[in-house]
Structure 1
């Protein structure tokens, strides 16, 4: 039986949609809530019926009746990092197809803020959670159990028995380092992120293995993974370590900061210092010179993470382990052989 709107005209109900689609009301509910198995053919038929009869679900009432709301949280560490913008876009597209709303939260890489944001999200009774944990996060498996379907993205945490989606960081950073070694560089500075972050640990491992295998000395500095932080760090390492002819950037903001720091020191890339970044950004393809970079498969990581959440919501088994999406090294023009001038540049003297 149709209900009446404020204007006195009958409004469509779940039963109206079910009758139009030729399915049960329970099937319509599963499609609208994004829970349980429904074939794609049936899902398409139901969504078409929703449009045809003009059905508008009462989200408030439905949320009060349901154990979970049709919402998934995405908690990230740095809303200014373009990596997370790409991740958000990929994740949202997957959830939108299932009628789920994505709620974006930012922790500023602070574990107390992280807990506050998760408490806020918990009050909405979401269907799932995607989380890039803060560098010193104190979260446990029990903390995340209340969210039902929880998946870590990019970063991982020791002791957490939950699925995660990462890229092959040690292998990718090793390949990036060997690109510089193969060009003749032996004094290669790795400008990394926070020392305790899993992403830093994994990328540093790949760098150190490649450098040590070549008989070279690892030169590592840690940053807050921002452009200004990297700008300060590269200037410091150039002043304190002799003969640096190449650098590796932890992420897109760090790579940008390295370039700014080189310019501050009157050095050119690649004539004085060659550079390889980690995580591509649009500007890198056009910067003079175009920057060689490890392209992280951000969109693929986002789609996989979102699908893992949906699988868990649907009751499908998901392994509580890292799910790896490989990155790709894009060879551009920021790597050349070290010149005699670069070997005697200001970076080669203690100042």
Structure 2
């Protein structure tokens, strides 16, 4: 197995210079970096992470805490983060809190024990355990929603405005009774989407109607059955995320409530096959890949920054969303985008 000395010999530099390059502990000229990287590639050298950790260095690993691995949106974010980290020579350790406090606390302890260099987290529970990262000097970036009470960087999307635009579109179709369907109302992202829905309804003089316990197909089916038997059912639905959307689509099909003939639907977040559905789904599209990539960029800037140059206050990036009009809202003749 090649060693630091072997890399130094092939690159024509000193072993200390190779160590500095591998550990990122001090300045190495661009010319020497190029020679060292070429030698590493030629020899297939891999730094001994265990030895680095024993010497007090951070592992070349970042942590990523998601609330739910089953949500395709977070899957896209994670893929973008992993790709960015890999391009910078880091691995990504991905865990899911599953909205469980004990699981989350155990994951935080594990990541700290692994001496990760930084953390990207989608907050879903109390932030108390995350303060341990700050005490250890490990940078944190909040993804999709902010970390309350912690001065961490955050990368989010325009949830409120996107939701308001979607509901205003349904109102423009003449819908008076539009129901907001989903779950996780305590989260920052979902609460802002609910606020956007409520703003649009109240501005039009309409009464908001919330159904915020739809977390499973069974929940959605129960609601759809109630509507199918009622002559006073809503004429449109606004779903808060793609998990709720998927459940509602399946439930509405089961009770034969055709979209948009019997009930229109607009969703927050785009599904992978949304444009191939019949009818194609009108959505608020989030830049999932861009969100993950921007979160990773901010984190690696923090990791690379000298300690005395780190900002005490977190930065906030708000990425725009895109309203994609297809056919489930009632529009016709719209090519699926």
Give the TM-score normalised by structure 1: 0.84
Match of 1:298 in 2: 288
Match of 1:6 in 2: none
Matched, 1:142 2:131: yes
Matched, 1:124 2:111: no
Match of 1:256 in 2: 246
1:153-164 residue pairs with structure 2 within 5 A?
153-164=143-154
Cα distance change of structure 1 residues 94 and 312 upon mapping to structure 2, 3 Å threshold: same
Q: Distance in 2 between matches of 1:37 and 1:182?
A: 60
Secondary structure of 1:152's match? strand
Cα distance change of structure 1 residues 56 and 180 upon mapping to structure 2, 3 Å threshold: same
Q: Provide the aligned C-alpha RMSD in A.
A: 2.6
Structure 1 counterpart of 2:322, from 318, 328, 333: 328
1:192 Cα deviation (Å)?
2.6
1:1-351 residue pairs with structure 2 within 5 A?
11-21=1-11, 25=15, 28-33=18-23, 43-134=33-124, 136-139=125-128, 142-145=131-134, 146=136, 148-223=138-213, 225-235=215-225, 242-315=232-305, 317=310, 319-336=313-330
State the Cα deviation string for residues 66-117 of structure 1 (Å, max 9, x = none). 3311111111111111112111110001111111111011111112211111
Q: Which runs of 5+ in 2 are unaligned?
A: 332-337
State the Cα deviation string for residues 33-67 of structure 1 (Å, max 9, x = none). 45667687765543222011332322221221133
Match of 1:5 in 2: none
Cα distance change of structure 1 residues 301 and 177 upon mapping to structure 2, 3 Å threshold: same
Cα distance change of structure 1 residues 262 and 322 upon mapping to structure 2, 3 Å threshold: same
1:314 Cα deviation (Å)?
1.1
Secondary structure of 2:327's match? coil
Deviating more after overlay: 41-50 vs 144-153: 41-50
State the Cα deviation string for residues 284-336 of structure 1 (Å, max 9, x = none). 11111110111111111101111111111112646514311111111111111
Secondary structure of 2:273's match? helix
Cα distance change of structure 1 residues 114 and 19 upon mapping to structure 2, 3 Å threshold: same
Residues 223 and 233 in structure 1, CA contact (< 8 A), matched pair in contact too: no
Residues 156 and 164 in structure 1, CA contact (< 8 A), matched pair in contact too: yes
Secondary structure of 1:282's match? coil
Q: Distance in 1 between matches of 2:321 and 2:202?
A: 23
1:232 Cα deviation (Å)?
3.9
Q: Distance in 2 between matches of 1:30 and 1:169?
A: 43
Secondary structure of 1:32's match? helix
State the Cα deviation string for residues 9-33 of structure 1 (Å, max 9, x = none). xx53324434544555455445434
Q: Which runs of 5+ in 1 are unaligned?
A: 1-10, 338-351
Q: Distance in 1 between matches of 2:14 and 2:129?
A: 41
1:237 Cα deviation (Å)?
6.6
1:224 Cα deviation (Å)?
5.7
Cα distance change of structure 1 residues 44 and 241 upon mapping to structure 2, 3 Å threshold: farther
Cα distance change of structure 1 residues 219 and 36 upon mapping to structure 2, 3 Å threshold: farther
Q: Distance in 2 between matches of 1:190 and 1:241?
A: 19
Q: Distance in 1 between matches of 2:26 and 2:286?
A: 33
Q: Distance in 1 between matches of 2:118 and 2:209?
A: 41
Cα distance change of structure 1 residues 113 and 141 upon mapping to structure 2, 3 Å threshold: closer
Q: Distance in 2 between matches of 1:167 and 1:33?
A: 34
Cα distance change of structure 1 residues 221 and 68 upon mapping to structure 2, 3 Å threshold: same
User: How many residues matched?
Assistant: 326
Cα distance change of structure 1 residues 67 and 240 upon mapping to structure 2, 3 Å threshold: farther
